[in-house]
Structures are given as structure tokens and as C-alpha cells.
Amino acid sequence: MKPIHEDDPQPGFYKRRLVRGGPWVPAAIWVVAPERDEAGDLMSDEIWCCQVNGISVDVYDQWTWLAGHPITREEYDRLTDNDDAPPPFEALDLNATKPVF
């Protein structure tokens, strides 16, 4: 596994908990490439984008929380489409939670 550096976010899909004991929520990091001039040089800096649980956030504030929890696109889609998920800011009560299988 590549070392994690707080100032070196990586594009991809991730998950994190917003509170201790809370449910996993989806996160994504991507880069928007700026336009290039006729010589092929970038006309401005790249723009880093990050969403956690569908909310746009600062990628550098979130990276250390996300870096250790990469997930596949399929798991990201499953977390995104989970209408039965508990509220993300509440700890899970495992005694009241339905079994997964």
C-alpha cells in the first residue's frame, strides 16, 4: 500500500463514517482538467473535487479520513443507492439493526 500523505489526495472511490459507530457513507475524489491552449499547455490549474455523502467538501480536509478506505465503483454505487441506510450522523444500534444476511 502506498504511504498516505495529507497533501497528496488520490482520485477514486472511498467510504468513511461521519461519526464513531455511524454507518459508512460514500465518497469520491476526482480532478477536473482545465482547457489547454493551442500549444497544449494547461490554461489554469487542475481543480480537485470531492463529495462525501453527496455533499461537496474540501478534498484536503477529507483526504486523511478517506485514504485508508478505498472501495470499488460497485460498492460506491451500492452505498449511494442505499435508501434504507440509517442517518449518517447517528451511531448504529446493532441490537436494533436487521441482519445483513
Q: What is the pLDDT of residues 40-66, one digit of tens each?
A: 887 777 899 999 999 999 999 999 999
Q: CA 92, CA 87: separation in Å to the nearest integer?
A: 9
Handedness of CA 88, 90, 92, 96 (dihedral sign): negative
75-98 confidence digits (pLDDT tens): 999 999 876 666 666 665 556 666
Q: What ranges do the domains of the chain cover?
A: 12-29+43-80
